[in-house]
Structure 1
């Protein structure tokens, strides 16, 4: 009899199970978003984030402000399957990851990691020294991804900020220092 590792026994949501094969064999291209992607970005954001998706006007303004740090995964046929967006301040050399999104059917295949690695490289090349993000504390898969990339919870309180986005909308604040890391 072989003992199952404890983390797998406690993985009731299936975050650690083997990923399903891609339902779509088309390769995805990682590229900078274009203005013509805005309707498709909105569709993807609504499909994944539903009631907390960015409104169309805000997505447009975020694109105008941070286009060089808005990366998408494109299937070559007009459909986007993921994006990452980082917003950067002009003077303080800080950036926030404002969104990481992968279509549900494409999750658990390293696409979120690919998006994050690419945007972190761009931020580092732009002279950004500190990156922050927020994540729902119960989103274990995202927390594990961010930790594996070197993000740590901010102090105090191990990064937990109660009611960060309003009543009952807690968030974990995590940060990563980019200086001296490659």
Structure 2
């Protein structure tokens, strides 16, 4: 009798708001997603304190698999996507789009009129995602935007 391969059942990813208890896992996720420039824990902590309703995560019941973090001006005239990350094992499955669509709906609902973001000019997958969501490049690549050698493409979406 031949043994059948064992497949781990795929866990359904639940989109939800972040909780204070998630901050350690969020820091690990951010470090995996952006190993060259992760947010320090204390920055994520402060962003949670300032923007708790604009920090969404994808949770499979055992671990966080993605997040989106948005900062919104006090007058709600504009927001910035400050982070969008998906674990390596979940990339290419539409989770980034799901997070972005959810947060853009949230921002529309509170009256935000413009959403801005920056993206590495070499991150073609992210640029394509943002373009399909309606973001346009504000200008050519900004050299040294985040410091020497850290060029970024600035993009904007009018809601």
TM-score by length of 2: 0.93
List structure 1 runs of 4+ shifted beyond 4 angstroms.
none
* Structure 2 alignment gaps of length 5 or more: 1-7
From the superposition, tell whether residues 24 and 54 of structure 1 become closer, same or farther in structure 2 (CA, over 3 Å): farther
* Structure 1 alignment gaps of length 5 or more: 1-22
Give matches, 1:61-140, under 5 Å.
61-77=46-62, 79-91=63-75, 93-140=77-124
2:152 aligned with 1:171: yes
TM-score by length of 1: 0.81
- Which SS does the other structure have where 1:173 is aligned? strand
Alpha-carbon separation, structure 1, partners of 2:76 and 2:129: 26
**Considering only aligned residues, what root-mean-square deviation do their CA atoms show, in Å?**
1.1
- Asked whether the 8 Å contact 2:115–2:157 carries over to 1, the reply is yes
Report the CA distance between 1:92 and its aligned residue: 5.3
Q: Which one of 114, 128, 142 corresponds to residue 161 of structure 1?
A: 142
Name the count of aligned residue pairs: 152
